[in-house]
A and B are shown apart, each in its own frame.
Chain A
Amino acid sequence: MSPLVRRRLGRVALNSAGVAVLLFAIFPVYWMVATAFKPTDEIFSTEFQPIPLNPTLDHVERVFTKGVAGHSIWTYLFNSAVVALGAVLIGAVIALLAATAVARFRFKLRTSFLILLLIVQMVPAEALLLPLFLMVRRLGLYDQLLGLIVINVGLTLPFSVWMLRTFVAAVPKDLEEAAWIDGAGRWATFWKVLFPLVAPGLVATSIFSFITAWNEFVFALTLLDDPAKFTMPRALQFFIGLRSTDWGAIMAASTLMTIPVLVFFLLVQRRMVSGLVAGAVKG
């Protein structure tokens, strides 16, 4: 074999492997969407039907009008959005302040705080579940979205601070010092100089928190009992228990839950990797 042929063959092999990986990754997602658009007899056909032959909006319409678990899926999408956005808005302010503190100041407890952040991120949600369940009940927040919002702030905060501090640290300190020397007060320096420059990082961090809160299942399962208050994952779980074979509607609901995350994911993918393995690459 000439080197040229061998190189070509190598290219073909690599690209085939790439296509195989792509198919493995994409097919389940495609299958979810395809099932959502298939008429029921095609869904249950024992023959493999790669493409919906007679695509239908029946299932999508059904989850909007008749709904899953007794309410239109709008209710659950709305509840999920309230929980995720609420957690993001509260969390962003708190995280920005804390990230500024650790990235801009040297103080005695700084290292202890950073190590604390790392450790609490690793505590399993199940460990917090029982005490938080009792706390929420005591405060009268059982079956309330507010309870879930507060808990999601707690769940997302450590990582938000951890990720955001690298963005704050990346803003050149000279800018703030210049503003400071020109006589700007502390708040003016913070809002007019630091904040605009950190904003893109804040958006990336907020998207990450949004996804975490949007996907959160364990607490929604434990703290919500009234179907009118369900978030999407909780509604999906309830619906599967109720009508385990209505795959068209299940996949339609699942698709609707996935779309926002998918969009956000593609927006922040690079930052997420750098945030998660923070610093390890520098080694």
Chain B
Amino acid sequence: MAPTPTIARGGGSSSAPPRGARPRPPRRRGLPAWVIPYAFLLPGVLVIAALLLYPIAQMVQMSFQEVGLRQFRARNPLPAEFVGTENYRQVFESELFWSSLRNTMLFALVAVALTLVFGTLVGLLLQRLGPKMSTTVVVGIMAAWAVPPASQAVIWKWLFDADAGVVNWALNLLPDWLSRLVFGRAEWSGEPWLNDPLPIYTVLTVAVVWASFPFIAVSVLAGLKSIPSELYEAARVDGSTGFRTFRAITFPLLRPVFSVLIVLSIIWDFKVFTQLFLLAGGTNMPREAYNLSLWSYVEAFSSPPDMGLGAAIAVVLTVILLLITFVYVRQIVKSEDVR
């Protein structure tokens, strides 16, 4: 199957084998054929260059500059001043860096692990349910998946409300001895959830797992359906059951799916912003509860703005994310016909 106008410019062209004896379309007037794909690509490349690549370069540049009030004032603004690695020194010397990094990493680790385990279990469950029940559950979990991040945040803020929240009400229903054993307290009325880092991240984890497990479950289900059932029959005939079948057949065959899902989840949970911002009360939240995204935002936009410092934090976050992304891109390039 020869692609219509095959263009191989430059060095490699002479070694390319001649294409099959397909009738050549008659010569037309207009653009030469090799220009066409580039012409089609041009608007997209311009958009990506202007809105994604140029800003990234700008951000890196800003991270070496002092960009604050004096650069923004209406009268006689100063040009941005080059300060070398000063911003980065500030980042790494700040206590907030370590607490934000810890919050970012720990949250991503816990949320990703819970989402993947729970999502996979639900995916396996969906496969074994009857067709009606399976469809009902899929539609139900799609509803959770569809809720916009801003709504997710307000819903869970409301469910975890100190006085009229359903969660505190339900925790009060637990027998006192059990509640004391597990949580060290029996009385939950009026217990605030969104004042300290640990409870804030507990609520955030629940909200994020709730919103993202459906994607994992549906993807795992799609993967499971692609596994030929003969394999499972053979395993049953050989006397393999349950967990062993999962380990020997399901998991190895779904490994590519899992590696993509893991990296996507890490990337999504690493830069969680909207839900944290809205759950914890925006820039008024306790500083110890910042993650890297939020810290960067606060430094750059709350007064006095320090955009250089904000940019340096964003650079650190981006570098971490691109290292993780590298794994994802390699996986996709390996399994897809990107070449």
Residues of A that sit less than 8 Å from B by CB: 14-15, 17-18, 21-22, 24-26, 28-29, 31-32, 35, 43-48, 93-95, 97-98, 100-102, 104-111, 113-120, 122-132, 134-135, 150-151, 153-155, 157-158, 161, 173, 176-177, 180-181, 185-186, 214-215, 217-218, 221-222, 232-233, 236-237, 240-241, 247, 250-251, 254, 257-258, 261-262, 264-266, 269, 273-274, 276-283
Residue of A nearest to B264 (CB): A276
Whole-angstrom CA separation of A125 from B277 in the bound complex: 14
User: Which 3 A-B pairs rank lowest in CB-CB distance, beginning with the nearest?
Assistant: A154-B51, A98-B44, A131-B58
Cβ–Cβ contact A105 & B148, under 8 A: no
B199 contacts A by Cβ under 8 Å = no
Closest A residue to B333 using CB positions: A115
Report chain B residues within 8 Å CB of A48.
166, 169-170
Additional 19 contacts, C-beta under 8 A, given A25-B141, A154-B51, A276-B215: A15-B130, A22-B141, A28-B156, A32-B154, A95-B44, A101-B37, A110-B37, A115-B338, A130-B59, A130-B314, A131-B58, A131-B62, A132-B51, A217-B149, A257-B150, A261-B147, A264-B146, A281-B256, A283-B257
User: Which residue of A is nearest B317, CB measured?
Assistant: A124
Q: Do the beta carbons of B155 and A222 come within 8 Å of each other? A: no
- The interface centre, meaning the residue of A131, A158, A251, A265 with most chain B CB atoms within 10 A of its CB, is A131
Contact with A along B120-152 (1 / 0, CB 8 A): 001001101110011011111111111111110
A278 to B142, CA, bound (A): 19
Listed A/B pairs (19) with beta-carbon separation below 8 Å? A18-B125, A26-B143, A26-B144, A46-B164, A46-B169, A46-B189, A48-B169, A100-B40, A101-B40, A113-B45, A127-B55, A128-B52, A151-B51, A215-B149, A237-B282, A264-B146, A269-B138, A280-B257, A281-B257
Q: Which residues of B sit under 8 angstroms from A15, Cβ to Cβ?
A: 129-130, 133
B137 touches A123 (CB 8 A): no
Q: Would you call B273 and A127 a contact (CB within 8 A)?
A: no
In the bound complex, what is the Cα–Cα distance between A276 and B145 (angstroms)?
A: 14
Which residues from A are CB-within-8-Å of B311?
130
In the bound complex, do residue A127 and residue B146 qualify as a contact, i.e. CB atoms below 8 Å apart?
A: no
Once the chains bind, are B159 and A31 in contact (CB under 8 Å)? yes
- Of B143, B166, B324, most buried by chain A (CB within 10 Å of CB) is B143
Which of B10, B55, B149 has the largest count of A CB atoms less than 10 A from its CB?
B55
Complex Cα spacing A214 to B222, Å: 27
**Chain B residues with CB below 8 A from A25, complex form:** 137, 140-141, 143-144, 210, 214
Question: A153: which of B23, B47, B219 is its contact (CB, 8 Å)?
Answer: B47
Do residues B50 and A97 form an inter-chain contact, with CB atoms below 8 A?
no
Interchain CB contact (< 8 A) of B47 among A14, A32, A157, A264: A157
Chain A residues lying within 8 Å of B108, measured Cβ to Cβ, are none
**Measured between alpha carbons, how far is A153 from B324 in the docked complex, in Å?**
25
**Known contacts A100-B40, A105-B4, A180-B25, A153 near B137 by CB under 8 Å:** no
Find out whether the CB atom of B336 lies under 8 angstroms from the CB atom of A278: yes
Name the residue on B nearest A135 (C-beta).
B55
Q: Collect the chain B residues with CB atoms within 8 Å of residue A247's CB.
A: 158, 161, 164
Q: Which residues of A contact B161 (CB under 8 A)?
A: 247
B307 is an interface residue with CB less than 8 A from chain A: yes
Contact across chains for B296 and A126 when beta carbons are under 8 A apart: yes
Q: If the complex has contacts A113-B41, A126-B271, A186-B28, are A21 and B5 also in contact, measured as CB distance less than 8 A?
A: no
Q: 1/0 per residue B318-334: CB within 8 Å of A?
A: 10011011001101110
* Among A18, A109, A236, contact of B129 (Cβ-Cβ < 8 Å): A18
Cβ contact within 8 Å between B297 and A129: yes
Interface centre among B34, B122, B147, by most A CB within 10 Å?
Answer: B147
B310 touches A130 (CB 8 A): yes
Report the separation of the CA atoms of residues A269 and B144 in the bound assembly, to the nearest whole angstrom.
12
Are B149 and A278 closer than 8 Å at their CB atoms?
A: no
